[in-house]
Structure 1
Amino acid sequence: MEVFLNPDAWIALVTLTFLEIVLGIDNIIFISIATGKLPEESRKKATKLGMFLAMFMRIALLMGINFLIQMKEPWFTVDWSWFKAGITGQSLILLAGGLFLIYKSTNEIREKVDHKGEEEHDLGKAAAKSFQSVIIQIIMIDLVFSFDSILTAVGMTNGVQGALYIMITAVVISVFIMMQFAVPVGTFVNKNPSIQILGLSFLILIGMMLLTESAHLSNAEIFGSHVTPIPKGYLYFAITFSLFVEVLNMKSSKKK
């Protein structure tokens, strides 16, 4: 295409692909947890199928980017004595996604701590049903995680000729790269219970981050103070540092 004859287009494509992969790390963590209850032979298939279908959803969202931008306008307002907000379409999606992540993660932690793995005995009975539900979960949560990547893509390619083609290409490349990492990451997570709990804890943090972003998009005020989103840099640093400490702990335990 003529679009890729422009050097600026290639710079935007490489940069955007890298950012899409970085922003997709939390998605990979969720997929690893979601597919953990499936029989081992079905996990790889569920991971790749879910991400493949989610890729088409991201492309569809890019096609309807004007609609997504319009969702920034308030649909209705809430004005209580201690809480004020203009609820937008984007904020509702992020709110639902954050609540889902917190519910899903806390429920998984409860099962693993209280039931001590008893749910694994029922895998064979509900394999088909679980497979379908896992695929739906991957697609739905990717919808929530897509907002950051899509808005980043729009900002990165603003003013670049053929921006839509660049964004779609970056999404396709990043998804195929993440497919290669998702399976080994999922295998590692499911073989190490401590990493599983750590991953679920990360998802609770990400859910809280989505709630604050939802409130921020709604220009929410609580007791007269504006709600500000949690900086992603702090969150990713905490996740990276915790993983590093846990890996050191695992190596130390193996030596003993």
Structure 2
Amino acid sequence: MELLTEPNIWIAFFMLAALEIVPGIDNIIFISILLGRLPPEQRDLARRLGLGFAMVSRMALLFSLAWVMTLTTPLITLLGQEISGRDLILLGGGVCLLYKASHEIFMEVKVQESKETRAGVADVKVGTSVF
């Protein structure tokens, strides 16, 4: 009963609820867009399967996250710092996010430069053909 009166427990509960509601809404929007491409007689089954798969996969991810958080036994010691399985997984995820963000930024800059270059070439061609 003490857990029900603890404010930190309620704050954590509402934070987790919010973090689950946002991707849930995203799933509904994505599934709705895809359902528009199906014939009307297949939409109901596809909606149920899509939402069911989204729910099962989200629950599996939450259970795997709970399991990863228990991996606190030190695996190696590097420069006097003990490193556990959880640390390695979090480090790998962080590196993956940094790579993906850097790659997306690089591709966006490359596309912008390509558009500017093509616009400049088009202006030169138009300018030379007029004279």
TM-score class, shorter: 0.3 to 0.5
Which structure ranks higher in relative contact order (CA pairs < 8 Å, sequence separation ≥ 6)?
A: 1
